Amino acid sequence: MTEVEIDVRGETCPVPLVECRKALRKASPGDLVLVKGTHPASKKEIPMACEALGLEVLGIEDKEGGKEWEIKIRR
């Protein structure tokens, strides 16, 4: 099991969602994917995509006083 980190801070629609999906496709089942971003809508939409894909979101955390977020997903 490995943990992959993708940094999409500063990126806007649809890049955070797309980069998250690209990382999930490359990961093996059981791997952890950590997405770091700033785009507000993606903080809601990445968990929506995970639900549609049947993947588990392990946590959503605000960072830097709410300016950044981190989402941890198990592939």
Partner 1 sequence: MPEKELKPEKAVIVLHSGDMDKFYSALIIGNGALAMGMEVSVYFTFWGLMRLKKGELEKGPLSRMHMLGLGKKMIEGRMKAANVASLEKLMEDFKELGGKIIACEMTMEIMGIKKEELRTDWVDDWGAVGTYIQEARDASITLFI
Binding site for partner 1 (CB under 8 A): 10-15, 17-18, 20-22, 24-25, 29, 48-49, 52-56, 74-75
Tell me whether residue 25 or residue 59 sits nearer to partner 1 (CB atom): 25
CB of 54 to partner 1, least distance (A): 4
CB of 61 to partner 1, least distance (A): 21
CB of 59 to partner 1, least distance (A): 15
Looking only at the bridges linking them, the beta strands covering 56-63 and 3-8 are unpaired
Give the active site residues: 13
Tell me whether residue 60 or residue 74 sits nearer to partner 1 (CB atom): 74
Is the previous residue joined to 14 through a cis bond, with omega within 30 degrees of 0? yes
Residue type, 51: E
